[in-house]
Amino acid sequence: MVIAILPDGSKRELPDGASVMQLAESIGKGLAKAAIAGRVDGKVVDLSHKLVGEHQVSIVTDRDPDALLVLRHSTAHVMAEAIQRIWPKALLAYGPALETGFYYDIALDQPISSSDFEKIEKEMAAIIAEDRPFSRYELSFDEGMKRLQSEGNKYKVDNAQRAQAGGAVSLSWYATGQSGKNWEDLCMGPHIPSTGKIKAFKVVSVASSNWHGDVKLDRFQRIYGTAFFDKKQLEEHFKLQEEARKRDHRVIGPALGLFTIDEKVGQGLILWKPKGAVVRQELQNFIGMHLKRQGYQQVFTPHIGRLDLYKTSGHFPYYRESQFPPLVDREFISAKAEEGCTCAQLSNLMETGEIEGYLLKPMNCPMHIRIYASEQRSYRDLPIRLAEFGTVYRWEKSGELGGMTRVRGFTQDDAHLFCMEEQVAAEVQGCLELVKIILGTLGMKDYRVRVGLRDPDSAKYVGDPAQWDRAEAACLAAAESLGVNFSKEPGEAAFYGPKIDFVVKDVIGREWQLGTVQVDYQLPQRFELEYIGADNKPHRPVMIHRAPFGSMERFIGVLIEHFNGAFPLWLSPVQVAVLSISEKFNDYGQQVVNQLKEAGLRVEFDNSGDKIGAKIRKYTLEKVPYMLIVGEKEQAEGKVAVRHRTEGDKGAVSLTEFVTKATTAVGERQ
């Protein structure tokens, strides 16, 4: 006897071995028709899944978010079959569903390009039109393995072995149709009942990928697609993507004159234009205020430092792959040349760092450490908090660069806190408070917090396990006190200590790490830092690295998207535009402009011969918060007609009233 406990708590009895579909039918015809899959004790299963005993069962229809994942996984099968029809030599590896679609990794010598998509889609449409059922069958592990080996697809063999390692005792296949007659794939499922349920789909893109994500292993062509239960949703999906593209900081940023990237200057190097510089400067002033309050001291350090410094810190050569090559000492190079050193040999010396020279700094910490070490420190001085907007340079691979979010030169709102171990918890908490203030002021609520812990099985993490435990406990406690949800992620720690990261999504849904707080026991040791304790003996301080914005480039890139280019008044590059009705009122307009400037506001004056409608349109598109329109009436009464970029006409007020309101809002960072 099967007892199905439905979501409303009611029970339904069916004969043993009844399928989920039969359950759906027993509830109602409409439900059976809409059924895509079932959920048994929380796990999504096929409609054909046979029930035995008592379970919590619900029917998954197309309104259930899980249904979309099942549909997409099934569509991935259909796409794979279509691809194998066109290219019989294509070997399948792995084809999961995604939040926005699905992909299938395929090994095939011949490149598949976007011009092939139509052909693939045509084959897929044919398979869907046949409305073939997805039918599941299982083989014992040994039997299944024998079959896979005879088929000669090493990726599927590997998948099966991994399934076994995960505890599987049997292997399951899905035939798109009838086993033995139609296309089949080794697959855990679940799947939609039949291909006819796929009402809207599209092959979207192709990219390369590697087996198990390892660049040293076999390369695949990863074909992306997406699927929906109806055409409207599919169209909506692409429309949303297009809308997102319009918010992209790479589109908006240059259009609003915030920044530019110049091929002649170099890949991944940001040129901040005057308007972008205003935004950055305002943010820096804002954080500077809080740094003073929290007892930070400002420092400045150079952009290059001796290679030796970075050997001590461990950045070179350990991270040399992601650094610009060293700047070689001229004397050293001539001496080597006289010894008959070839270019190739010289290059090797640079690789290994056996060379006199300088490095463009990849991090600020070694410089701050040397400032700490320049004086004898007492426990009474601690914590010492050194802050700098420090520009660093990293050799990111060309394919990783893009916009302001991934660049080769960027400025961190960096600081290093040197403290006693018992001060770590309080200091980490202070850092988190700062991040919270920043995100709160800017109205950024959509972020997640990640506490990166060490993976005890990995050799990557250096240092004393007891210290790690204490540092991790301090980070977790600080994250706890933040009052927002956070995830613990073993293996995400820096090699020198645990960290707390703030991660946000961009308009395309890609995640970026912004603010970060990291506890470090390693660098103080490598640089043999000390302070004199109350016991008159030397002790080793602990360092905290922290950057609440992360980098100015990445942060502002994300910020542009967050505001869709419409910055709040205090951040707006141009806060007020004065628009004269006609050139007759330009003198009065100029007086208004002068007074606004006098009050410290950033103003632009449109005294051109354009009509007022055109002027309004121009500044609305430029997302200037306030437009002040001045004509005959305003001139006579000493007023300005206020228009807000989104709220429209706000009526006329005296100039002094506007100035008071605007400057107050700026002061309150609105």
Partner RNA sequence: GCUGCCAUAGCUCAGUGGUAGAGCGCCACCUUGGUAAGGUGGAGGUCCAGGGUUCAAGCCCCUGUGGCAGCUCCA
Residues from 207 through 236 that contact RNA (CB under 7 A): 207-210, 213-215, 219, 221-222, 224
Q: Of the candidates 234, 371, 652, 653, which one interacts with RNA according to CB under 7 A?
A: 652
Annotation says 147 is catalytic = no
Annotation says 450 is catalytic = no
Quick check: 451 and 475 in contact, CB under 8 A? yes
Residues 6+ apart with CB under 8 A from 518: 494, 496, 497, 498, 499, 500, 544, 545, 546
Q: Of the candidates 649, 656, 661, 664, which one interacts with RNA according to CB under 7 A?
A: 649
* Contact flag: residue 120 with RNA (CB under 7 A): no
Interacting residues with RNA between 506 and 525 (CB under 7 A)? 508, 510, 516, 518
Stretch that binds RNA, among 169-177, 289-297, 316-324, 597-605 (CB under 7 A): 316-324
Q: In terms of CB distance, is 14 or 401 closer to RNA?
A: 401
Please give the structure tokens belonging to residue 629. Answer: 């329109």
Report the distance separating Cα 289 and Cα 596, nearest Å: 24
Report the distance separating Cα 604 and Cα 579, nearest Å: 9
Q: How many residues in the shown chain lie near RNA by CB under 7 A?
A: 76
Nearest-approach distance from CB 218 to RNA, in angstroms: 11
Q: Of the candidates 612, 653, 665, 669, which one interacts with RNA according to CB under 7 A?
A: 612
Three-state DSSP class for residue 73: helix
Nearest-approach distance from CB 276 to RNA, in angstroms: 16
Show the site string, 586-605: x = touches RNA by CB under 7 A, - = not: --------------------
Three-state DSSP class for residue 21: helix
* Contact flag: residue 406 with RNA (CB under 7 A): yes
* Contact flag: residue 115 with RNA (CB under 7 A): yes
Q: Of the candidates 182, 312, 610, 665, which one interacts with RNA according to CB under 7 A?
A: 610
Q: In terms of CB distance, is 173 or 220 closer to RNA?
A: 220
Q: Using alpha carbons, select from 359, 357, 285 the residue that is nearest to residue 318.
A: 359
Nearest-approach distance from CB 368 to RNA, in angstroms: 13
Quick check: 357 and 329 in contact, CB under 8 A? yes
Using DSSP bridges, classify how beta strands 531-532 and 538-539 pair: parallel, antiparallel or unpaired: antiparallel
Annotation says 49 is catalytic = no
Interacting residues with RNA between 622 and 641 (CB under 7 A)? 627, 629, 631-634, 641
* Contact flag: residue 411 with RNA (CB under 7 A): no
Report the distance separating Cα 136 and Cα 186, nearest Å: 10
Nearest-approach distance from CB 533 to RNA, in angstroms: 28
Letter string b/e over residues 544-561, b meaning 16 or more CB atoms within 10 A of that residue's CB? bbbbbbbbbbbbbbbbbb
Interacting residues with RNA between 347 and 366 (CB under 7 A)? 362-363
Report the distance separating Cα 247 and Cα 560, nearest Å: 8
Nearest-approach distance from CB 31 to RNA, in angstroms: 36
* Contact flag: residue 617 with RNA (CB under 7 A): yes
Annotation says 315 is catalytic = no
Annotation says 231 is catalytic = no
Report the distance separating Cα 20 and Cα 25, nearest Å: 9
- Catalytic residue selected from 55, 62, 221, 365: 365
Interacting residues with RNA between 413 and 452 (CB under 7 A)? none
Q: In terms of CB distance, is 156 or 222 closer to RNA?
A: 222
Q: Of the candidates 51, 278, 560, 581, which one interacts with RNA according to CB under 7 A?
A: 581
Report the distance separating Cα 301 and Cα 428, nearest Å: 24
Report the distance separating Cα 318 and Cα 321, nearest Å: 8
* Contact flag: residue 369 with RNA (CB under 7 A): no
- Catalytic residue selected from 105, 185, 414, 501: 414
Annotation says 475 is catalytic = no
Stretch that binds RNA, among 126-134, 206-214, 227-235, 296-304 (CB under 7 A): 206-214
- Catalytic residue selected from 132, 197, 249, 394: 394
In angstroms, the Cα distances linking 628 to 598, 616, 645 are: 16, 10, 11
* Contact flag: residue 401 with RNA (CB under 7 A): yes
Show the site string, 160-199: x = touches RNA by CB under 7 A, - = not: ----------------------------------------
Q: Of the candidates 179, 205, 342, 670, which one interacts with RNA according to CB under 7 A?
A: 205
Angle in degrees, 0-180, between the axes of helices 343-352 and 330-338, rounded to the nearest 10: 130
Interacting residues with RNA between 227 and 286 (CB under 7 A)? 248, 250, 254-255, 261, 263, 266-268
* Contact flag: residue 454 with RNA (CB under 7 A): no
Annotation says 55 is catalytic = no
Report the distance separating Cα 647 and Cα 661, nearest Å: 16
Interacting residues with RNA between 522 and 561 (CB under 7 A)? none
Strand order in the sheet with 35-40: 11-14, 2-5, 54-61, 35-40, 43-45
Q: Using alpha carbons, select from 96, 46, 44 the residue that is nearest to residue 73.
A: 96
Report the distance separating Cα 515 and Cα 283, nearest Å: 14
Q: Using alpha carbons, select from 9, 13, 1 the residue that is nearest to residue 56.
A: 9
Three-state DSSP class for residue 202: strand
So which residues are the catalytic ones?
Answer: 365, 394, 412, 414, 416, 499, 545
